[in-house]
Amino acid sequence: MKLKLVVPSNWDDALLDGLSSDVVDVLYAQSNADEYGGGRSSLFLPRVTQERMAAHIRKARSMGIGFNYVLNASCFENKRFDAEFVKRFRTLFDFLCECGITATTISDYMMLKLVKKYYPQLKVSASIFAIITSVSQAKEYEDLGVSDILLGNPNDFEFLKAVRQAVSCDLVIFGNLGCNIFCNECSLHSYSVTHSSQKFHRSKGFYVEHHVLRCSINKLEHPESLLKLMFVRPEDMWLYESIGINKIKIVDRLSPTPLIQSIVKSYAERMYDGNLLSFVNALGIVNRSNATKPSLSYIRSTVLPNLSYLLAPSKINFFRLFWKLKNLKPFYVHIDNGLLDGFKEELMKSGIKCWMKNCAKCGLCKKYFNKAATFYESTRLDSLKSLRDLQECIISSKVFSWNPFK
């Protein structure tokens, strides 16, 4: 079975140009701020009107491409037991179904039941925030009626095979997510971004991405961990097809249109020549080419309007925050994608179970990183120092204080 792509939408109609239903199964997106929230903060998502959403969804559907509206919040503060909450949910989804959505992504059991009860025609995807790490969990979600399940570890081939044998629904893995396969803050991070994207939450969209900061520090402390991310090289798609994986989900809906299109092209052609980290979203700590930098129009339409979420003097000293951000040093690293040939295949044939293996004793990721990666140690140390300075400023609460002596 040929793998198809699950592609992020930034609500830009130009993104649809060149996409084909032969390659793309479904687009996914969410409003920058609705009552329910999801896996990205309002601070970073492009603002969009209902009219623009409707036109974009209908255009995708006219091309034969499905559309998945993301509803993968991790916490609703028990509001889902409130009749008014359910009423507003139905109003939103009545509108979305009129626009032509074909699916939604869920991480909450009650929201899954709501969708299946009132919108049985919609496919339901189990979110990465459901944190499905066992065969029994996957089977239970299938029994609840999900159409596909997103699994977070593309390196554990034995687990992927076991889930494939247990369920008949579609299985999805990330193609280019910059999150570590084993992240201690996965649950906490999901709650943070959930509340920062809920329209009526008391945070009012205010958000400091401390979890990504800690993750970036870990990557610089152990740079071989850049090969422990949730990624599948275009050249290795055949490995996952051979064990019955159905779809590759690419990120990120925060990205500008040219970057998303270039990533789709790489997977469609099953070939990429260059720096692995030019299409794997390594959370902003690495250099990007000019072709993938946001355009002026993207900055005007997304970055500048969303600065209002940070203009909260009662919560943060944004001058101090801006100064710390301005002084962050990038980590310039090149991982030659061509030199990673055989990496995933060796993982598959060796039967390594990453969740049981001590990385210090295994050494496979480090072996391929040393083979493929080029960087200057001085830039790693400079970047690491600047990130630690920012982290200390947040942990000590200095960034939240206007006291010049603190």
Q: Looking at the domain assignment, is residue 87 inside a domain?
A: yes
Say if CB 148 and CB 193 are below 8 A apart.
no
158's tokens = 């034995």
Residue-level pLDDT at 191: 67
- pLDDT tens per residue across span 140-179: 999 999 999 999 889 999 999 999 999 999 999 999 998 8
Give the C-alpha separation, 236 to 270, whole Å: 8
Residue-level pLDDT at 117: 94
- 33 pLDDT more than 90: no
Position with higher pLDDT, 239 vs 39: 239
Selection from 224, 280, 290, 202 nearest residue 248 by Cα: 280
Give the C-alpha separation, 388 to 383, whole Å: 9
Q: Looking at the domain assignment, is residue 406 inside a domain?
A: no
- pLDDT tens per residue across span 221-276: 999 989 989 999 999 999 999 999 999 999 888 888 888 999 999 999 999 999 99
Token pair 């239970």 in the structure block, residue:
140
Say if CB 151 and CB 126 are below 8 A apart.
no
- 210 pLDDT more than 90: no
Say if CB 388 and CB 394 are below 8 A apart.
no
Q: Looking at the domain assignment, is residue 134 inside a domain?
A: yes
Q: Looking at the domain assignment, is residue 405 inside a domain?
A: no
Give the C-alpha separation, 376 to 356, whole Å: 32
What phi and psi, each to the nearest 5 degrees, are found at residue 170?
A: -70, 145
- 134 pLDDT more than 60: yes
Work out whether strand 333-335 and strand 373-375 pair parallel, antiparallel, or are unpaired.
Answer: antiparallel
Q: Looking at the domain assignment, is residue 276 inside a domain?
A: yes
Decide: residue 246, CB within 10 A, 0-12 exposed, 13-18 middle, 19+ buried.
buried
Decide: residue 49, CB within 10 A, 0-12 exposed, 13-18 middle, 19+ buried.
exposed
Overall average pLDDT of the 48-66 stretch: 94
Q: Looking at the domain assignment, is residue 337 inside a domain?
A: yes
Residue-level pLDDT at 16: 94
Which residues partner with 149 through β-bridges? Answer: 126, 171
* Domain at 337, CATH number: 3.20.20.70
Give the C-alpha separation, 284 to 333, whole Å: 12
Q: Which of 179-188, 327-336, 366-375 has the highest mean pLDDT?
A: 366-375
Overall average pLDDT of the 370-397 stretch: 90
Residue-level pLDDT at 23: 94
Residue-level pLDDT at 285: 52
Overall average pLDDT of the 390-394 stretch: 85
Give the C-alpha separation, 355 to 219, whole Å: 18
Q: Which of 52-56, 110-114, 396-400 has the lowest mean pLDDT?
A: 396-400
- 406 pLDDT more than 70: no
Q: Which domain, by its residues, includes 309?
A: 4-400
Residue-level pLDDT at 332: 85
Name the pTM for this structure: 0.88
Instruction: Give 319's pLDDT tier (boundaries 50, 70, 90).
Output: confident
Residue-level pLDDT at 42: 64
Q: Looking at the domain assignment, is residue 225 inside a domain?
A: yes
Give the C-alpha separation, 8 to 249, whole Å: 8
| Count of the separate structural domains present in the chain | 1
- What distances in angstroms separate CA 167 from CA 4, 138, 330, 344, one per listed residue? 19, 7, 43, 24
Chain mean pLDDT for the chain: 84
What phi and psi, each to the nearest 5 degrees, are found at residue 204?
A: 55, 40
CA-angle at 190, arms to 139 and 210, nearest 5°: 150
